[in-house]
Amino acid sequence: METRDAVEFKSVTPILRMFDVVKAREFYLDYLGFKVEFEHRFHESAPLFMGVQRDGVHIFLSEHHGDGTPGTHIRVETDGVAALHRELATKGYRYMNPGIIEQEWGQRELTVVDPFNNRLTFSERIA
């Protein structure tokens, strides 16, 4: 086994709690445009653990009671927040109509809230 002399962090994958697979799919797949990477259940009636991704952003969604806490807030570095805003506006998702906020610290942000009270803030640096 090879030993490294330095640590190199690769990525972070948040685990967000979900309580309803249908609502999770509607939000993450239909509304936000993520694609399913995998789905796992230990048996047919077990909770679902699902990975979704879009453009290199990976999120795990879990029905397992020990995974994640409802109300988690994650921030996604994004280029094209205005384009994302336009894309979401065309979806007609009846539970969300987010706006863009230009923060005084030089970020343009768009925050959405999933059906389980998890918040995702898509943020880009203002030039």
pLDDT digit string (tens) for 109-125? Answer: 999 999 999 999 999 99
Q: How far apart are CA 17 and CA 77, in angstroms?
A: 21
Note down the domain range covering 56. 15-125
In a domain, 1, yes or no: no
pLDDT at position 105: 94
The model's pLDDT over 56-110, given as tens digits with 9 standing for 90+, comes to 999 999 999 989 888 999 999 999 999 999 999 999 999 999 999 999 999 999 9
Which CATH number covers residue 53?
A: 3.10.180.10
Q: In the structure encoding, which two tokens stand for residue 48, read together?
A: 């679902």
pLDDT at position 1: 66
All residues at 6 or more sequence positions from 92 whose CB lies less than 8 Å from its CB, including other chains: none
Q: In the structure encoding, which two tokens stand for residue 88, read together?
A: 């979401």
Alpha helices in the chain (DSSP H): 21-25, 81-89
Which long-range contacts (C-beta less than 8 Å, at least 24 apart) are formed by 98-107? Answer: 102/126
**Cut 0.85: pTM above it:** yes
In a domain, 90, yes or no: yes
In a domain, 68, yes or no: yes
- Which DSSP symbol is given to 75? E
